[in-house]
Amino acid sequence: MSFQERYQMWLKNSYFDEEIREELKQLNDQQEIEDRFYKDLEFGTGGLRGIMAAGTNRMNKYVIRKVTQGLAEYICDHGPEGMKRGVVIAYDSRWFSADFALEAALILAQNGVKAYLFDELRPTPELSFAVRELKTIAGIVVTASHNPKAYNGYKVYWEDGGQVPPAQADEILARIEARESWLGIEPMSKEAAKREGLLQMIGSEIDHVYLSRVKELALHPELDAQQGKELSIVYTPFHGAGNKLVRSALAELGFSSVTVVKEQEQPDPNFTTIPYPNPEIPSTFDLAREYGKNVEAELLLATDPDSDRLGVVLRAPNGDYRQLSGNQIGVLLTYYVLSQKKNLGILPEKAAIIKTIASTDLADEVARYFKVAVENVLTGFKFIAEKEKEMEDGGWGKFQFGFEESYGYLAGDFVRDKDGIIASILLAEAALYYRNTEHRSLFEVLESIYQMFGYYLDSQESLTLEGHQGQEEMVRIMDSLRQEEIRELCGIQIVKIDDYEQQIGKNLVTGQSYSLTLPRSNVLRFSFSGGGFVMVRPSGTEPKIKFYFSVKADSQSVAEESLRMVKDDVMNRIALIRSK
């Protein structure tokens, strides 16, 4: 069926509600119509994400219906036990999140699959926990995480609490694609679903159990209880789902001096006070900085709308506030967790951390210092969770901490996704411990790590390339980088090129090739002599191609200059490719 035929079906068939059809009537741009209908919104290993609007390549209740129908059919294939175990569903503060979550629950119910639906917005990591706690066969969270306000998404989790693995995702996708028609997928009524025991609302009872497990991760709970009130913290949930649980976790441990940014406390799908609900962006902390100055806070914390990411800003000795990168937070927490467990005598044999190939190699050096193994996985926290499960099932490793450079962190074994609540309590405790016990700030701890292992500095750039043409341009960029064997960038020698799409690496010094064991992925990674790398990958969730830069030097000033030069060299090369 052509995109025009799809458009006409949605425009004219009474299955689609009047609001959707009216929206489509207003379209007069053929390129916009093509972009909305030339394909289905892609269902990948984590689910789907897109702009909210009418169309097969957009997020709307009809896309939710079709995808959930495919999931329901896959669960029904597991028989009555799987259907009875059911699916737990959470959602964030975005437009239509609650509506999409209920729609999914009622489609499941119509197929005889039980749905547990949270009574109000909840963080993504709590959804992961709830899958494990309720022993459901799957989970759904309606969120677009840190994307702009125009987006929403639908992530699927499997029975271990991790994002649905590739094999199961392929099975679900096969059932979605087997249904060519968009028509005739109808939800059960809410009243009937409740009456038949196929819809159960859940809430605070899950919160209490989850928070009790989070608090168990504190390494110095007595210090927290006795002196936590001395640490002044400003927290903002960015109008999202983290507000109640982050504050509760901190307060119950003893961190009672927490000031919330009032303007960003309540859910707001327009994210009115911030340009983009992503704590990686410095300007999102503008209000928190003002609050910090007023209360002389030492620590500013921010979670994104579904509270799986944590951003951190620290007060410097001169009173200014400086934002940490995701890698700096990850290294600080890795160092804190491993060093304190070693000091307390609770660092187990076969201890391991897990990080992504896009994250700083400084964490590898820290782990080796404590004789802890490192597992590097593809970008995406689902791969960290999968590796943790492999360790657990195989008994060959004891997971201690995991992180990715995009502000995602995890400790413990009861959540299988990045967790902004867990990261918040560990970061607060680390700041308190070093200040009150070792009389050092987190800046001073980070500086000591650099002095031990070298100054690793990192940065990122992204090119937004939207629509069909954008996808073609991404392909051209990646093809060109593969064809040109780049041996140096601004004078810094490249010693290895790893192509995860071809699953082949090459040592440029010896000329030898080797196999890469990670799953196939459209990623190129160029490793520098002496440490650091450049990595390029198209995003799996946004219309962007991402560039990761990491350099190592003996001093901060040299590292800063090297980082600037490497970025300029790479981005000039990309501009040249695009101009051809």
The domain made up of 39-202 is a member of CATH 3.40.120.10:
yes
Q: List pLDDT tens digits, range 181-209.
A: 999 999 999 999 999 999 999 999 999 99
Residue 278 reports pLDDT greater than 90: yes
- pLDDT score, position 468: 80
Structure tokens at 427: 């970061």
Q: Quote the radius of gyration of the chain (alpha carbons, Å).
A: 24
- pLDDT score, position 559: 96
Q: List pLDDT tens digits, range 248-259.
A: 999 999 999 999
Residue 93 reports pLDDT greater than 90: yes
Whether the domain at 203-453 and the domain at 455-579 fall into the same CATH topology:
no
Domain ranges of the chain: 39-202, 203-453, 455-579
Distance of alpha carbon 278 from alpha carbon 297, whole angstroms: 21
Nearest to residue 258, comparing CAs of 221, 232, 240? 232
Distance of alpha carbon 282 from alpha carbon 292, whole angstroms: 15
Q: Is residue 441 annotated as a catalytic residue, yes or no?
A: no
Could you tell me the pLDDT band of residue 483, with boundaries at 50, 70 and 90?
very high
Structure tokens at 358: 């896009």
- pLDDT score, position 45: 67
Residue 46 reports pLDDT greater than 80: no
- pLDDT score, position 469: 85
Residue 505 reports pLDDT greater than 90: yes
Q: How far is CA 216 from CA 411, 540, 546, in A?
A: 11, 34, 37
Q: What's the pTM?
A: 0.95
Could you tell me the pLDDT band of residue 571, with boundaries at 50, 70 and 90?
very high
Architecture of domain 203-453: 3-Layer(aba) Sandwich (3.40)
Catalytic residue, chosen from 93, 97, 128, 145, is: 145
Architecture of domain 455-579: 2-Layer Sandwich (3.30)
Quickly tell me which residue has 């709307």 as its tokens.
60
Nearest to residue 524, comparing CAs of 546, 495, 551, 500? 500
Angle (CA) 265-267-270 rounded to 5° is: 115
Q: List pLDDT tens digits, range 455-475.
A: 999 999 999 998 888 888 999
The residue-averaged pLDDT of 62-76 equals: 97
Burial environment of residue 190 by CB neighbours within 10 A (0 to 12, 13 to 18, 19 or more): middle
Q: DSSP labels for 514-534?
A: EE--SPP-S-EEEEETTSEEE
Neighbours of 339 (CB within 10 A): 17
**Which residues, 6 or more positions from 32, have their beta carbon under 8 angstroms from its beta carbon?**
none
Could you tell me the pLDDT band of residue 166, with boundaries at 50, 70 and 90?
confident
